[in-house]
């Protein structure tokens, strides 16, 4: 790999980190000035039952004191960095500035558009949550509305892949390709919805930020070795934005990522996974998301059909809190497991 390709990945990622660092004081001043946090602690679980155990956890005690919308730092730093390097090559044309520009129609337009559109939808949800008035003030957009938004974005993305990019098959490591034909579009939608369900991991200071940074870094490595350098750079820039967010989100958190962060991240991650044809390693690379989402599903089914709880609280990270683990220990152990599974996923993607 040529040196310029390495520079193209690391320089924008570093820039995104510092852009996020600079943006955050302005954002937090605005969020605290206008008290943009939940006005009441969330009272129920996803099933509608009383969330007595979850409300008692230490990680939930500041829910009505810490602002939401911290995810703005992530996608704003990504957008500003991407547009910055694109403008830079026009203002100061040279071989280097041309090389550093990673905004390309065939690799980064689609994930960038997805990140922006989904993040704005998440921002609407957050705005309703912090408004403190109206029927959606306690929980934002209803879950079924958010699911419909994700499915709509997934349908548009799947259609674009199928009709514009001519993609109708997916690679399975060590087994070759599976031809899907028209089923590619619903499969794309299903993967995006499954990733979105992993948004429940955003529940402890630093947890979601660290895990998502690891995941995007893993896909940056995969894209780099596939010689899709623009995707590698874009994924690295998202990682840089996430690390800037994480700088301020580690305990005690200055703000929460909330839906404007997770909705944009999970949907754009889906696009990147398909662009790199590394969809079937997603369960490995994004294992903490799978575990968090799976624990909620298991809990709901167990309570519905057997009347018993498998976990003290769900998602899984709250279960560990409920049995006595400090929140920082839960976060760091999830980071460690996330890094191990991400590394394993990268190896499978590149070797398989």
Tokens encoding 254: 């200055």
Q: What is the pTM of this model?
A: 0.94
- Pairing label, strands 169-172, 176-179: antiparallel
Which residue segment(s) compose the domain that 301 sits in?
Answer: 3-351
pLDDT in tens, 174-191: 999 999 999 999 999 999
Helices marked H in the chain: 3-33, 52-56, 71-91, 95-100, 109-131, 143-159, 184-197, 207-225, 229-249, 258-275, 282-285, 287-306, 316-322, 327-351
Tokens encoding 202: 């955003």
Q: What percent of the chain has pLDDT over 90?
A: 84
Tokens encoding 210: 């660290």
Strand partners, 178: 170
pLDDT in tens, 118-167: 999 999 999 999 987 656 656 789 999 999 999 999 999 999 999 999 99
Query: How far is the C-alpha of 10 from the C-alpha of 226, rounded, in Å?
Result: 17
Residue-wise DSSP of 165-182: S---EEEETTTEEEE-GG
Strand partners, 177: 171
What pLDDT is stored for residue 2 in this prediction? 79
Cβ atoms 35, 66 nearer than 8 A: no
- Helix 71-91 and helix 229-249: axis angle, to 10°? 140
Query: How far is the C-alpha of 154 from the C-alpha of 336, rounded, in Å?
Result: 30
Mean residue pLDDT across the chain: 92
Vertex 115, ends 110 and 121: CA angle to 5°? 125
User: Stretch 90-116: mean pLDDT, rounded?
Assistant: 93
3-state secondary structure of 26: helix
User: Stretch 48-71: mean pLDDT, rounded?
Assistant: 72
For residue 48, pLDDT over 60 is answered with no
Q: Say how many domains are in the chain.
A: 1
């Amino acid at each position: 790999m040529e040196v310029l390709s390495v520079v193209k990945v690391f320089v924008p990622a570093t820039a995104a980190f510092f852009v996020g660092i600079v943006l955050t004081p302005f954002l937090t001043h605005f969020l605290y000035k206008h008290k943009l946090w939940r006005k009441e602690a969330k009272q129920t679980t996803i099933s509608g039952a009383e969330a007595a155990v979850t409300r008692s956890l230490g990680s939930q005690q500041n829910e009505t004191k810490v602002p939401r919308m911290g995810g703005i730092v992530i996608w704003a730093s990504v957008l500003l960095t991407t547009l910055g390097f694109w403008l830079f090559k026009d203002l100061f044309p040279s071989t280097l500035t041309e090389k550093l520009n990673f905004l390309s129609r065939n690799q980064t337009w689609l994930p960038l558009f997805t990140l922006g559109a989904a993040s704005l939808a998440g921002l609407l949800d957050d705005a309703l949550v912090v408004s403190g008035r109206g029927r959606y003030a306690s929980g934002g957009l209803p879950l079924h509305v958010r699911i419909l938004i994700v499915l709509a974005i997934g349908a548009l993305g799947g259609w674009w892949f199928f009709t514009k990019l001519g993609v109708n098959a997916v690679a399975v490591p060590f087994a070759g390709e599976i031809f899907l034909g028209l089923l590619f579009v619903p499969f794309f939608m299903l993967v995006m919805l499954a990733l979105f369900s992993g948004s429940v991991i955003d529940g402890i200071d630093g947890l979601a930020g660290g895990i998502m940074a690891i995941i995007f870094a893993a896909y940056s490595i995969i894209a780099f070795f596939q010689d899709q350098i623009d995707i590698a750079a874009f994924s690295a820039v998202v990682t840089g934005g996430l690390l800037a967010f994480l700088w301020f989100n580690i305990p005690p958190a200055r703000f929460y990522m909330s839906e404007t962060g997770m909705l944009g991240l999970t949907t754009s991650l889906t696009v990147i996974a398909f662009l790199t044809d590394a969809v079937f390693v997603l369960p490995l690379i994004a294992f903490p998301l799978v575990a968090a989402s799976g624990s909620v599903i298991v809990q709901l089914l167990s309570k519905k059909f057997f009347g018993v709880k498998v976990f003290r609280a769900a998602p899984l990270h709250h279960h560990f809190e409920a049995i006595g683990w400090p929140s920082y220990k839960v976060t760091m152990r999830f980071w460690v497991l996330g890094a191990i599974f991400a590394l394993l996923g990268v190896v499978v993607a590149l070797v398989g």
